[in-house]
Amino acid sequence: MEYLLEVKNLTKRFGGLVAVNNVSMGVKEGEVVGLLGDNGAGKSTLIKMVSGVYRPDGGKIFFMGKEVIIDSPMKAISIAIETLYQDLALAENLNAYSNIFLGREKLKKVLKFINVLDNDYMIKESKGVLDRLEIEIPSLRNRISMLSGGQRQAVAISRSIYWNAKLLIMDEPTAALGVTEQKKVLDLIRLLRSQGIGIIVISHQLYDVFSVADRLVIMRRGEKVAERNIKETNPDEIVSLIVGAEKVSEKICPADRD
Amino acid sequence: MNNNKNSTLSVSQRLQSILAKNWAILFTLIIILIFSFTGKRFFQLANFQNILHLSTIYLLLTASETFVIITGGIDLSVGFVMGLSSVLSAKIIELLHAANFPPALSISIGSIVALIVCIIPGLINGVLITKYKVPPFIATLGMMGIANGMALIISEGFPVAYLPRVLPNIGNSYLIYILPGKAISFFSKPKGIAGEEIKELIRIIPNSLIFISIIIFILWHILKNTKFGQHTYAIGGSMDAAVRAGINTNKHLIIIYVLSSFLAGLAGVFYVFQTGIGIYTSFGAMYELLAIAGVVIGGASLMGGKGGIIGSVIGVFLLGVIENGLHLSGVDPFFRYIAVGLILIVAVIIDQSFPDLL
Amino acid sequence: MSNMVTQRNGIHRFFLQLGSKWAIIFLILGAILFSIISPGFLSFNGIQVILINSPFILLLALAETFVIITGGIDLSVGFVMGFASVVSAKLIALFVVMGMNDLFSIITGIVITLVIGIIPGFVNGVLVARLKVPPFIATFSMLGITHGISELLIKGVVAKNMPVLAGKIGNGSLIYIVPGKTVSFFIKPLIQRGGNLIEILPTVFVIPFIFILIFAFILKRTKFGQHTYAVGGNIDAAIRAGIDVKNHLIKIYMLSSLFATIAGILYVLRYITGKADAGTGFLLDGIVAVVIGGASLYGGIGSVWKTIIGCFIILVLENGLRMLGFPTFYKYILVGIVLIFAVLVDKLFPELIHKED
């Protein structure tokens, strides 16, 4: 089967620092790929090139077989790539539904020609998608700065799943969640996979990754060091690939650039 | 974190970076060169000393802003605290003088009282900012209004002018006077000079320069070589890190703002010495904005953590040379505003294009 | 911030609600206080006086509201206002001298000024959004540049040849009533000597007010407004959500200059002259009004109506002091105190009230 998303020789530099070095990988439709690696491995930087936050310094990106230049988040969104970021990328001063619809606000006409925010619609839709995650949010109208970490995460996840993405990138989707909620998110990922959506999951929780991923890509210090089918490997092997079985050099790993 | 960096820089990149880091000095030298041709009597000892002399006030205000801006804050009240100080000191001197106190005494008392009083705005600013978490912009904005109001009340809107004659004499005199071929004297003009001869009088080193150099040197030393200075940079770099390192940031910041308003108070006293009057600061003067401009031109970032006294001094001189040069070149004074605006933008852009590579 | 949102008893919540509305309470109490001390403060004429002096601070504060919500600041509005006053005065006078009829001179002059006046805002926007110059510096530079240009333009005489019509518009009112006889709009009816004429709502107040209505609506209920808040709240989130943040910021600064330009034009209509420093005092008043209105200088929070309340607090204080015979100096002190008080109160009553305001 053809890749839904394929990146070839992707490179990103910050000044003299090489954050992502010649990485190639792909995701198929209906496949979950776990992107793993220690801090500073370059995972977040890599996916940010796919989501349009960074422009690659080298390499190409192919989506649905065709080469694409993803030069802005707008572009990524327009070709149906949705991203859940590690830092959630939420506006603290806005409420839950405004965040879910940020940039894609639903409008309605008032007095026949003035376009105004259709809050009722957005509230209803947001409620719907939040209910799928079964996380209680007391009032959708509250500023999200008043919500807990888990509730915030739910809002961010909801945003990423609401827009009918073809490719979904999730950077640490379960970080702030409790056990039951984590399970719900994983169920959701499985559900989306069964709908033919390609998913990249970055996570430190190996247990979670092993329970949903079909394939694993491991990065270390900006490079891809290995790729494994989930059935052909085990957590121990993965850990040693992440950490590097050979002697670790003196260099301190560069912190992941956000 | 910097491991790979230096090896990937070419010679030309390094050269560019050096140029960029010192652009202010280079630019100053270039325009001095230009003004020497376009300006009447620009390239003369007397004129350069004049530039220094007039820059005194700005040097003080800029120095105070330097400390504040390095901590990531801002002090909008300096111009108006200066006005308050000039008015207050002048008023006291005037009253004492009218009551027949000897000039030396009235001047001293007036100056000292004003300096002490000017600690208060800084104290209030500092407390508001640290304890009550009022953003510096707002706290000092409010204080600016209050200081201005007080200056106006004390002076009733008029300059305070009945001051002992000796005041502006001290403020404007030089260390050395030379009447070529005839006399040398210190601190004051040689006695018995006839009218014509005054034109030939050479003056060297304004008194104000001496004072200001001492003060600037002390401030430079504090910022660069002491723990206090180090902590100032630390707070500006990361307040959080500073707190967790055990620095008493609240106390430190209060001291910074007190220092700032104290220096502004000092500027006010200097003003009285230089002009012989005390007057409130009008809105048009924009002292604080020019002070901030000086600091930014000197390489500081409004985010904090960067900058220094030397850079700020260069910034002040750059602005002073421009104003003086434009004036002597017969250019409309209002081009100065435009020039300052453009230079400031250039300063920031250069600063951003060359983050600390060296 | 805590999650103990609604576990307070009724009375406590009542006081909290009260506290969060302190600005308007302060305004009302202040107005009442002044009217007790100086009867006539809140009289029909008294209010008209306040209103006729309001346009400049209202417009500049409106400008700052938008800019401050995005987390920036616009220091240039005062001098853009002055610049606009100089440009429009010169243009109008020029057209009159060229023989154009009064009304057309004024209209053409105004239209051209509006177009020119947006340019400083555009430059500000480009500096901030594309060149990443901090707003403080970019707008301060623009302040200097517009100041310089204004003063250069003004060399030579200003405001000769200004048509009388301009002054009539600037000092006119929306509604004129001759009791028992006629009602007319905008145009002063002729009356016999000693006749009774009631004027309601100065024109120079009405125009800003219309803009306030429009832009309060825009800020609160349209995508543009929503994105303004988003950019101020978390610019990264806005970028990643696909919002074209750079262009948005440029528009915001252009809007700010537009309001300042309108203020400058109104200045000319009212005082029949243009001055480079026409707007200096109002910049600070405008910023203070926005902060009193609850906006955060860090961005993301603010509201047009609350800013307006802030404006009127300043106006009431100013006028009240004036009527009591205090020299204007005291205004600075009072406003400074109110400003600090405003911020402290905001800290004591963090938004326990739901909704983005």
pLDDT tens digits, A115-137: 889 999 999 999 999 888 777 78
A238-244: average pLDDT = 87
Assess contact for A177 and A185: CB atoms under 8 A: yes
Question: Predicted confidence band at C76 (pLDDT cuts at 50, 70, 90)?
Answer: very high
Q: C151–B292: do the CB atoms touch at under 8 Å?
A: no
Question: Which residues 145-174 of C have a C-beta within 8 angstroms of B?
Answer: 145, 147-152, 155
Least confident of A212-221, B338-347, C212-221: B338-347
Q: C242–A77: do the CB atoms touch at under 8 Å?
A: yes
Question: Predicted confidence band at C160 (pLDDT cuts at 50, 70, 90)?
Answer: low
| Alpha carbon of A238: minimum distance to chain C alpha carbons (Å) | 31
Nearest CA in chain A to B5: A16
Chain B positions in Cβ-Cβ contact with residue C137 (cut-off 8 Å) = 296, 302, 344-345, 348
pLDDT surpassing 90 at residue B204: no
Quick check: B327 contacting C, CB < 8 Å? no
3-class secondary structure, A66? strand
Is A30 or C179 the better-scoring residue by pLDDT?
Answer: A30
Instruction: Return the closest-CA partner of residue B108 out of B96, B100, B120, B98.
Output: B96
What's the pLDDT tens digit per position in A148-163?
A: 888 899 999 999 999 9
Question: Predicted confidence band at A96 (pLDDT cuts at 50, 70, 90)?
Answer: very high
Chain A positions in Cβ-Cβ contact with residue B5 (cut-off 8 Å) = 15-17
pLDDT surpassing 60 at residue B4: no
Q: C240–A115: do the CB atoms touch at under 8 Å?
A: no
Tokens of B76: 């909008």
Quick check: B6 contacting A, CB < 8 Å? yes
Helix intervals (H) in chain A: 43-50, 73-78, 96-100, 119-133, 149-162, 179-194, 206-212, 235-243
Instruction: Return the closest-CA partner of residue B120 out of B154, B143, B91.
Output: B143
| Alpha carbon of B155: minimum distance to chain A alpha carbons (Å) | 46
Alpha-carbon distances of A180 from A156, A177, A203, A207, A209, rounded to whole Å: 18, 8, 17, 14, 16
Quick check: C345 contacting B, CB < 8 Å? no
A216-221: average pLDDT = 93
Q: A17–B4: do the CB atoms touch at under 8 Å?
A: yes
Buried b (16+ CB within 10 A) or exposed e, B168-203: bebbbbbeebbbeeeeeeeeebeeebeeeeeeebeb
Is C119 or B27 the better-scoring residue by pLDDT?
Answer: C119
If you average pLDDT over every residue of chain B, what do you get?
85
Helix axis angle, C245-271 relative to C77-97, nearest 10°?
50
pLDDT surpassing 70 at residue A258: no
In this predicted structure, what is the pLDDT of residue B198?
Answer: 67
Q: C332–B146: do the CB atoms touch at under 8 Å?
A: yes
What does the DSSP assignment read for A143-209?
A: BGGGS-HHHHHHHHHHHHHHT--SEEEEESTTTT--HHHHHHHHHHHHHHHHTT-EEEEE-S-HHHH
pTM of the prediction? 0.86
What's the pLDDT tens digit per position in C14-73?
A: 776 776 678 888 888 888 888 888 887 878 888 888 888 899 999 999 999 999 999 999
What's the pLDDT tens digit per position in B99-137?
A: 888 888 888 898 999 999 999 999 999 999 999 888 999
In this predicted structure, what is the pLDDT of residue B46?
Answer: 81
pLDDT surpassing 70 at residue B161: yes
Q: CA-CA distance, A98 to C355, in Å (whole number)?
A: 11
Q: Containing H/E element for A110?
A: strand A107-110
Chain C positions in Cβ-Cβ contact with residue B125 (cut-off 8 Å) = none
Question: Predicted confidence band at B194 (pLDDT cuts at 50, 70, 90)?
Answer: low
- HSE, CB side, 13 Å, CA atoms: give it for residue A24: 5
Q: B1–A255: do the CB atoms touch at under 8 Å?
A: yes
B229-248: average pLDDT = 87
Assess contact for B269 and B85: CB atoms under 8 A: yes
What's the pLDDT tens digit per position in C57-68?
A: 999 999 999 999
pLDDT surpassing 90 at residue B257: yes
What's the pLDDT tens digit per position in C297-337?
A: 888 999 999 999 999 999 999 888 888 888 877 888 888 88
In this predicted structure, what is the pLDDT of residue B216?
Answer: 94
Is C72 or C194 the better-scoring residue by pLDDT?
Answer: C72
Residue in B1, B8, B9 nearest the CB of A254: B1
In this predicted structure, what is the pLDDT of residue B124?
Answer: 95
Instruction: Return the closest-CA partner of residue B247 out of C329, B255, C62, B140.
Output: B255
Q: CA-CA distance, B347 to C17, in Å (whole number)?
A: 47
In this predicted structure, what is the pLDDT of residue C356?
Answer: 42
C76-99: average pLDDT = 90
Question: Predicted confidence band at C146 (pLDDT cuts at 50, 70, 90)?
Answer: very high
Q: A16–B7: do the CB atoms touch at under 8 Å?
A: yes
Least confident of A154-168, B34-48, B264-278: B34-48
- DSSP letter at C5 equals -
| Residue linked to tokens 């009591």 | C324
Question: Predicted confidence band at A167 (pLDDT cuts at 50, 70, 90)?
Answer: very high
Helix axis angle, C203-221 relative to C245-271, nearest 10°?
170
| Alpha carbon of A210: minimum distance to chain C alpha carbons (Å) | 29
In this predicted structure, what is the pLDDT of residue B41?
Answer: 80
Cα B335 to chain center, whole Å? 22
Interface B–C counts its CB contacts (< 8 A) at: 135
Q: A16–B1: do the CB atoms touch at under 8 Å?
A: no
If you average pLDDT over every residue of chain C, what do you get?
85
Give me the phi and psi of A103, to 5 degrees please. Answer: 90, -15
Nearest CA in chain B to A14: B5
Question: Predicted confidence band at C8 (pLDDT cuts at 50, 70, 90)?
Answer: low
In this predicted structure, what is the pLDDT of residue C274?
Answer: 86
pLDDT surpassing 90 at residue B189: no
Range of A209-218, A238-247, B178-187 with top mean pLDDT: A209-218
End-to-end CA distance of chain B: give it in Å, rounded: 14
Residues in C lying within 8 Å of A, measured between beta carbons: 1, 3, 5, 221-223, 226-227, 229-230, 232-234, 236-244, 299-301, 351, 354-356
Is B302 or C195 the better-scoring residue by pLDDT?
Answer: B302
Is B35 or C57 the better-scoring residue by pLDDT?
Answer: C57
